[in-house]
Structure 1
């Protein structure tokens, strides 16, 4: 039986599902931002600030940030287990990925919800 450690006990199906859902969220966020840039009347600081003062936009951006973190972790975990055969190297790589992902999420939350 194949086990999967990315989700601590859940199956590879849940990893697959998380990746697909996170990809859909990231696509929706990207399409929204591209549409905003293309069809926005003004693109100055005041307009940009007003966009991100909206609570719905902050939540959408936070969801995109968390989706990016989950998508990246599952993808990089899969790549590292497939291509990094040395256990020590794989452990170091995965630890660095976890730390970097955590730092980016915390930083993103601070930028998004900070004063």
Structure 2
């Protein structure tokens, strides 16, 4: 009877073991996005020129382009963790789940490339 007991140090552990890493990644990326939002709102409400030129001048500085791109990467990783968890939780057939995960990765990489193109065009 005791040999079949799977409680304790000899417990059979299964799963992908994403728990703590994903939880921490979601919190860190959320903090990055929150800090960026505060900076952007402060810059926006401190501006006196509410035109395209005024908006473009915010992103003219190289540090602001870099901060924006880092925030976008944080947003994309944040989205990847969330969507991947949704696919793993609700799509049981492995082939369909793999296809949806690959499609999500392609979509997010496309968004990152498009964002870089937009940022460095200003």
DSSP-derived class of the 2:92 partner: coil
1:18 matched to 2:25? The reply is: yes
How far, CA to CA, are the matches of 1:67 and 1:3 in structure 2? Answer: 25
List structure 1 runs of 4+ shifted beyond 3 angstroms: 34-39
Alpha-carbon RMSD across the aligned residues, in angstroms, is 1.9
- TM-score, reference length from structure 2: 0.79
Q: Which structure carries more helix by proportion? A: 1
> Any idea what the Cα deviations from partners look like across 1:53-90, whole Å, max 9, x if unmatched?
11111111011110011000111111110111111221
Q: TM-score by structure 1 length?
A: 0.83
In structure 2, the gaps of 5 or more residues are: 1-12
- Structure 1 equivalent of residue 90 of structure 2: 83
**Bigger shift: 25-34 or 66-75?**
25-34
Number of equivalent positions? 110
